[in-house]
Chains A and B, each alone.
Chain A
Amino acid sequence: MNLPNPFELLWRQFRNEWRLYARDKAAMFWTFLFPLLMLFGFGVIFRSGGPPALTLVRVRPAQETARDKAFLKALEESRLKIVTLGAKEAEERWAKGETTAQLESAGDGYRLRLNSYLIAQGQVAAQAASQAFLVAQARLNGSPEPERIPFVVESPGHAHSDSYAAFLVPGLIGLNLLTMGLFSVGMVTVSYREKGKFRRLAVTPLPKWVFLLGQILQRVTVVVLQTAVLLVAARLAFQIANQGSNLLLAVLVVLGTATFLAMGFALSSFASTVETYGAISNLVFFPMMLLSGVYFRLDSAPRWMQNAVFLLPLSPYLRVLRGVFNDGATLAGHGVGLAILGAWAVLSFVLAVKRFRWV
């Protein structure tokens, strides 16, 4: 009896997986379009390199005094955008939650109201306003204006990638890998098992490894393509390029793919229905997505929380990836992060192999 050549079968399985994947509009959206939308969306919002200009609402005084006028002039020279409103409109705007910081007269001085929901931006606005006030006072008194210390914007690795979009690119690459592992691999495995697709295959002579490898190879090519699309888009739209070695970047993408793929398989062994898996995977996905530094660094969080998050695989992974991509660094100095990532890869792989079930 001559069973078909397993490598020909593997090629066929691989093509079949791709064909079915390409027909799944939702998968195509999340895989290729969503990362691009995030990149363009955030890239455009934060185009200037820093956060967008902050708006300070100034409540128009009943009588504009010389001091008020001097203060306003100094404010307009600052990085703040000043909107002057009557007391009533200002109050309405405040009530709608649109105001970050509001400057109003209080007694014979001034007072700043900061929106507690936007406290970080509010504090920046407050500092800029205070500085403008010092400038205005100096001018009124005829004394020398306070001196400003000049600053430059630079990434931690002294490289040129100083825009937020550049920060975002490695984050999105990492997020893609996590999504691929948890959903394209883990969720699909659980659903095939629950719905009995594996059982139907089990009564055919198709070797199981051929089926699994075909699936894995398809996911890996998706990831490679996805990363390529992101890198090309970042270069064309924002002139963001890899600052480090391309070989290192490729090695890191392969390492990340292997880790998150194994994690998907491992996690799938803990659920027997798609519903249970949905709950488990969200429990893993959301904290990792929000806390690991995909979109923002967690610098203002308590130290213990930052340390805890660094023990999850995505956070050290993104740090190494950013080191190479944004700062042109090598792997030196990332020993701890790589060790944590490696530990996750090994743990996931062992769990995946030991616990994998067909039925």
Chain B
Amino acid sequence: MPDQIVVRGLRKQFPKVLAVAGVDLNVAAGEVFGLLGPNGAGKTTTLEMIEGLTPADAGEIGICGLNWRQHAQEIRARIGVQLQATSLYNKITPREALELFGSYYPKRRQTQELLELVQLQEKADAYHVTLSGGQAQRLALALALVNDPEVVFLDEPTAGLDPQGRRSLWEVVRKMRSEGRTTMLTTHYMDEAEALCDRLAILDHGKILRSGTPAELIASLGIPSVVELTFDGAAPDPSAFAARLGIPVEARGDVWEIPTPDPKTLLPKLFTAIESERLEYNQVHVRRATLEDVFLQLTGRSLRE
């Protein structure tokens, strides 16, 4: 099956900033593809150009083998979109909203089935204004699925949700994947990207820095593990210690992070150095490297900054 989303040379210049500076990407059918990056990286602009909301300055976009110039209405009929903030009429109920939006499409899913999917049965007849943030977010997701779409776009789907809300949304995305839908989402949570996405592109300043499966991206670091040394209060300056150890040590808050390809040989050396330096530390952890570390290595900045 050909790729469901094909993007080449996508660019967008806003009056003061080059929001998207030449993006290429392919999303295969049935894949969950994530755009990972900090706020302002150009994720939403990229997504909205692909969704046909924002006109691109340059570049080619193909969705299900169609393009926006010739097949706009057909593309709209076949995709589902959850915008970053979905605004609805205040006094519409989820049931009515699903019926109304469903009526716009040639193909539609049962309202009851969608309400159950996003667990909104109990709020099905409550006005939209009375829904909590998480419930409104779930309704927005159900609306994105109302036309039984082949390709689904989710912009920051879990922003502002509590941990339980995020988990249940992840379940819905996994279900979409098992139904064979193609999903493209943006997020700035690395755990979300790692848990949900088959493939990812790390975006910063409107450019894709690297893309691949989460495992590939982490492997590209060449350092699968990180040793963390936690201190009481702020971590001391690690430069002398790093020189002694012969590998880089990064101080972040109350933690020293020491990336290593081989914790087994590092740890004895580390404890010897701690002993002779008489270093007062609190705890030591060894963890797997994450996408956060990949981002840090690529940009020198943290995702959350």
What residues make up the interface of A, taking CB atoms closer than 8 Å to B?
1-4, 8-9, 12, 16, 19-20, 23-24, 192, 195-197, 199-200, 202-206, 359
Contact B105 A4 (CB under 8 A): yes
User: Using a Cβ cutoff of 8 Å, how many contacts connect chains A and B?
Assistant: 65
Q: Is B100 close to A, CB under 8 A?
A: yes
Task: Tell me if A1 and B103 are in contact (CB < 8 A).
Answer: no
Contact between chains at B103 and A9 (CB < 8 Å): yes
Interface of A is mostly: helix
Q: B85 contacts which chain A residues (CB < 8 A)?
A: 196
One of B73, B81, B92, B100 near A12 (C-beta < 8 A): B100
* Given A200-B86, A203-B51, A203-B52: A16 in contact with B73 (beta carbons within 8 A): no
Nearest CB on A from B48, distance (A): 9
B53 to chain A, nearest CB (A): 6
Take A20-B92, A203-B76, A205-B73 as given contacts and tell me if A196 and B104 are in contact as well, using a CB distance cutoff of 8 Å.
no
B36 at the interface (CB under 8 A from A): no
Q: Which residue of B lies closest to A204 (CB)?
A: B104
Q: Mind listing 29 A-B residue pairs with CB under 8 Å?
A: A1-B73, A3-B73, A3-B105, A3-B106, A4-B104, A4-B105, A9-B103, A9-B104, A16-B100, A19-B96, A20-B91, A20-B92, A192-B87, A195-B87, A196-B86, A196-B87, A197-B88, A199-B83, A199-B87, A200-B87, A200-B143, A202-B53, A203-B52, A203-B53, A203-B81, A204-B105, A205-B77, A205-B104, A205-B105
Distance between Cα atoms of A202 and B54 in the complex (Å) = 10
Rounded to whole Å, the gap between the CB of B265 and the closest CB of chain A is: 54
B106 to chain A, nearest CB (A): 5
Q: Cβ of B101 < 8 Å from any Cβ of A?
A: yes
Could you tell me the distance in whole angstroms from the C-beta of A184 to the nearest C-beta in chain B?
14
CB distance from A28 to the nearest CB of B (A): 12
Q: Which residues of B contact A196 (CB under 8 A)?
A: 83, 85-87
Give the distance to chain B from A4, nearest Cβ to Cβ, in Å. Answer: 6
| Interface check B14, CB cutoff 8 A | no
| B100-125, CB < 8 A from A | 100-101, 103-106
Chain A residues with Cβ below 8 Å from B103 are 4, 8-9, 12
- Chain B residues, CB < 8 A from A16: 92, 96, 100
Q: How far is the CA of A4 from the CA of B102 in the complex (A)?
A: 10
- In this assembly, does B79 line the interface, its C-beta being within 8 Å of a C-beta of chain A? yes
Q: Are A206 and B87 in contact (CB under 8 A)?
A: no
Give min CB distance, B185 to chain A, whole Å. Answer: 15
Number of B interface residues in the complex (CB < 8 A): 26
A9 CB, min distance to chain B CBs, angstroms: 6
- Does B74 sit at the interface, judged by CB under 8 A? yes
Report which residue of A9, A197, A205 has the largest number of chain B beta carbons within 10 angstroms of its beta carbon.
Answer: A205
Select which of A1, A8, A195 is within 8 A of B106 by beta carbon: A1
Known contacts being A20-B91, A196-B87, A200-B88, is A1 close to B77, with CB within 8 Å?
yes
Write the chain B residue with the least CB distance to A205.
Answer: B76
CB distance from A227 to the nearest CB of B (A): 25
**A197, B104: Cβ atoms closer than 8 Å:** no
Mark interface residues in B199-225 (1 if CB within 8 Å of A CB, else 0): 000000000000000000000000000
A204 B87 Cβ-Cβ under 8 A: no
Residues A204 and B76 in contact, CB atoms below 8 Å apart: yes
Residues in A neighbouring B104, C-beta threshold 8 A = 4, 9, 204-206
For residue A194, which residue of chain B has the nearest CB? B87
Nearest chain B CB to A142's CB is how many angstroms away?
78
Which B residues touch A195, using CB under 8 A?
87
Task: Find A23's partner among B51, B87, B91, B100 (CB 8 Å cutoff).
Answer: B91
Out of B74, B89, B127, which one reaches A197, CB within 8 Å?
Answer: B89
Taking a contact as CB atoms under 8 Å apart, the answer to whether B53 and A204 are in contact is no
A1 to B147 Cα, complex, angstroms: 13
Measured between alpha carbons, how far is A16 from B105 in the docked complex, in Å?
Answer: 17
Q: How many Å lie between the Cα of A196 and that of B87 in the bound state?
A: 6
Name the residue on B nearest A195 (C-beta). B87
Q: Which residues of B contact A4 (CB under 8 A)?
A: 103-106
Q: Could you say which residues of chain B place their CB within 8 Å of the CB of A197?
A: 87-89
Interfacial chain B residues near A192, Cβ < 8 Å:
87
Residue of A nearest to B51 (CB): A203
B residues 69-85 near A (Cβ < 8 Å) are 73-74, 76-77, 79, 81, 83, 85
Considering the complex, give the chain B residue whose CB is closest to the CB of A22.
Answer: B91
Question: How near does chain B come to A357, taking the closest CB pair, in angstroms?
Answer: 14
- Cβ contacts under 8 Å, B100 to chain A: 12, 16
Q: How far is the CA of A205 from the CA of B100 in the complex (A)?
A: 12
